[in-house]
Amino acid sequence: MTGVTFTIDPGAATPPYEQLRSQIAARARSGGLPAGYRLPTVRGLAGELGLAANTVAKAYRTLEADGVIETRGRNGTFVAASGGAASRQAAAAALEYAQRAHRLGLDREAALEAAGEAVRAVYDGT
């Protein structure tokens, strides 16, 4: 159906919607899914992967909120043209964190340490 395949491991600890979300996001970042690429419908992809439509819809909603994809009404869902959206959103979140840490009275080193621990926890799974 899609020309691009996604795989879901039902035995994985990662939920299926997150497996799908991360695959689409990674391929969009790498150019494997170029800007403007039309993604399959929620129902179509759900049927192809053997998932509930709500599972695919959740992945699409998260990707849209992150600026990776955009829905154009009845025209479909497409990989967003702006490749820098994720970087801009990450920079905005980092600025918000830094401002809040400062308001809480953390010094620079404590703020950096807290941020580093959070990044390690997410990326290393610790």
Is 60:45 a contact under the CB 8 Å cutoff?
Answer: no
Return mean pLDDT, the chain.
89
Give the mean pLDDT of 37-48: 95
Q: What is the pTM of this model?
A: 0.68
Tokens of 39: 């993604």
Give the mean pLDDT of 20-28: 94
Is 3:33 a contact under the CB 8 Å cutoff?
Answer: no
Query: In which element (H, E) is residue 39 found?
Result: strand 38-39
Given pLDDT bands bounded at 50, 70 and 90, which one contains residue 83? low
Give the mean pLDDT of 89-106: 88
Given pLDDT bands bounded at 50, 70 and 90, which one contains residue 1? very low
* Among candidate residues 62, 48, 46, the one with its CA nearest the CA of residue 1: 48
